[in-house]
Homo-oligomer: A and B are copies of this chain.
Amino acid sequence: MDPAAVVFPRTVEEVQAVVRACAANGAAIVPSGGRTGLAGAATATRGEVVLSLEKMHRVLAVDTAARTLRCEPGVTLQRVHEVAAEHGLLYPIDYASKGSAHIGGSLATNAGGVKVLRYGLTRDWVLGLRAVVASGACLDLGGALIKNNTGYDLRQLFIGAEGTLGVIVEITLRLCRPPADTRVALCAVADDAAVLALFARVRSSSLVLSAFEFLDDGCLRHVLAYRGGAAPFADPSPRYVLIEVEVPVPGAAAAAQTQEDLELCLGDAQEAGEIRDALLAASQAQARGLWALREDISESLHRHTPHKGDIALPVARVAEFLAVWRPAVAARLPGIEALCFGHIGDGNLHLNLLRPADLELPVFLDRVHAFDDETYGLVQRCGGSISAEHGVGLLKRSHLHYSRTPEELAIFRGIKAALDPTDLFNPGKIF
Contacts and interface: CB of A to CB of B under 8 A. Distances in A.
A92 interface: no
Contacts of A396: 150
B408 A148 contact: no
Given A124-B124, A414-B417, A407 B135 contact: yes
A260 B346 CA distance: 38
Question: How many interface residues does chain A have, given as a range?
Answer: 35 or more
Nearest to A121: B147
A405 B139 contact: yes
A415 interface: yes
Contacts of A149: 109-110, 112, 160, 385, 387-392
Contacts of A418: 411, 413-415, 417-418
A285 B217 CA distance: 56
Interface string A408-428: 110111110111000000000
A115 to B, nearest CB: 12
Interface in A90-114: 109-110, 112
A387 B148 contact: yes
What is the copy number of this chain in the assembly? Answer: 2
B116 A146 contact: yes
A171 interface: no
A36 to B, nearest CB: 15
A153 B156 contact: yes
A347 B151 contact: no
Contacts of A139: 405, 407-408, 411
A203 interface: yes
Given A152-B161, A407-B133, A417-B418, A347 B387 contact: no
Given A146-B315, A151-B431, 20 more contacts: A65-B203, A65-B315, A65-B316, A66-B314, A66-B315, A117-B146, A123-B153, A135-B407, A139-B411, A145-B312, A145-B313, A145-B314, A146-B348, A147-B385, A149-B160, A149-B392, A151-B408, A152-B161, A249-B249, A249-B254
